[in-house]
Amino acid sequence: MFPPTPQASEPSGEHQELVLEFRHHAERQRLDLFLCSQLPGRSRAFIQKLIEEKNVSIEGEQGPRGLKASFLVPPGAVVRVTIPPPRKLDLEPRDIPIEILYQDPDVVVVNKPPGLVVHPSPNQDENTLVHALLFHLKDLSGIGGEERPGIVHRLDRDTSGVLLVAKTDRAHHQLSTQFKSRTIQKTYWAIVRGEPLAAEGRLDLPIGRSYYHRKKMMVRADRGSREAVTDYRVLESFDGYALVEVQPKTGRTHQIRVHMAKIRLPVACDSLYGKEKRILHSEITRGPREALEEPVIARQALHARSIEFVHPVGGERLRFEAPLPADMARLLDDLRAHRARIPR
């Protein structure tokens, strides 16, 4: 690896763009995978974005439209990478209502509502859970960095439910260790489309980035995948739907949604891995659609029901549960009233 080469232009302040060069010595390899190996700590999505924005070049290989992530880097090629300065995000506290389920000097457990992003990103720097936490709490761990204070794990924007946050660096380190060792137990409730053939099961299917869609993950078994294990059991069955309890044993992106879709039980109203963006009451009842009918639910029917962990300081094992949000409760009520398989 060549040493970092500073930008030729004059310094513009504390944060400058960084220019790096790497020589490829092995056999031909995808550009994004090569840079992943040279830039540990940077996600593949981050590297692909650098490539898309023409921040990566190879002498003699730069076409008018720039390089692609799938370009095969030849042996001996020197890859030049320009990393732009980090975007300064506004992290002023904001009065966003959140439900705090538990709080002590070390940890806080919140019930994240659907539609709220957990932490800021270059494409989302307003009205996140982090902004709300900064308003409602005085202290948060700094290990997550300026943009992710206190954040130990995440939930997707449209997934609701229980979320664990660290208030001190010591708590953050201890909780992160528990997540890595898989001793924290997370339980989700999902309303899925379809009727399960088995009352319970285990899905041991590796997951990686989709070959075809940059925002999706998929089950794949090559070097670009990682181990993913999910246990599930059916709580209630309906005509065309089911309420399923799910326990992910690993923490891959979109893991539950990908695994359930793979066995043809996609999470209801999951527009990325299913077929629908909303569910109407008339669809459940199979009746006529009303004028200006509002959807029963308009996001994936996935809820982080509970979390169980060892307190990072006190050592006692704790468990917290978040009630179903209104939209999933309405959908479940409709299914029980109009799609029940067994009389209640």
The two beta strands, 217-219 and 207-209, are antiparallel
Top-confidence range, 9-18, 196-205, 287-296: 196-205
- Stretch 329-340: mean pLDDT, rounded? 96
pLDDT in tens, 89-114: 457 888 889 999 999 999 999 999 99
- Stretch 135-151: mean pLDDT, rounded? 65
Top-confidence range, 17-21, 59-63, 246-250: 246-250
- Pull the structure tokens for residue 334: 């409709």
The two beta strands, 302-310 and 160-166, are parallel
**pLDDT of 46 over the 80 cut:** no
CA distances (Å), origin 74, targets 66, 109, 147: 16, 50, 37
Reply yes or no on whether 156 is catalytic: yes
Greater confidence (86 vs 168) lies with: 168
Q: 124-128, 157-161, 211-215: which has the minimum mean pLDDT?
A: 124-128
- Stretch 296-305: mean pLDDT, rounded? 97
Query: What predicted TM-score, i.e. pTM, was given to this entire model?
Result: 0.73
Taking the C-alpha atoms of residue 244 and residue 235, their distance in angstroms, rounded to an integer, is 5
Bridge partners of residue 200, in order along the sequence: 233
Which of 32, 106, 156, 270 is labelled catalytic? 156
Question: What is the SS3 assignment for 10?
Answer: coil
pLDDT computed for residue 290 by the predictor: 86
pLDDT computed for residue 149 by the predictor: 63
Taking the C-alpha atoms of residue 30 and residue 185, their distance in angstroms, rounded to an integer, is 37
**pLDDT of 15 over the 60 cut:** no
> Domains of the chain by range and CATH?
5-83 (3.10.290.10), 99-180 (3.30.2350.10), 185-308+332-338 (3.30.2350.10)
**pLDDT of 122 over the 90 cut:** no
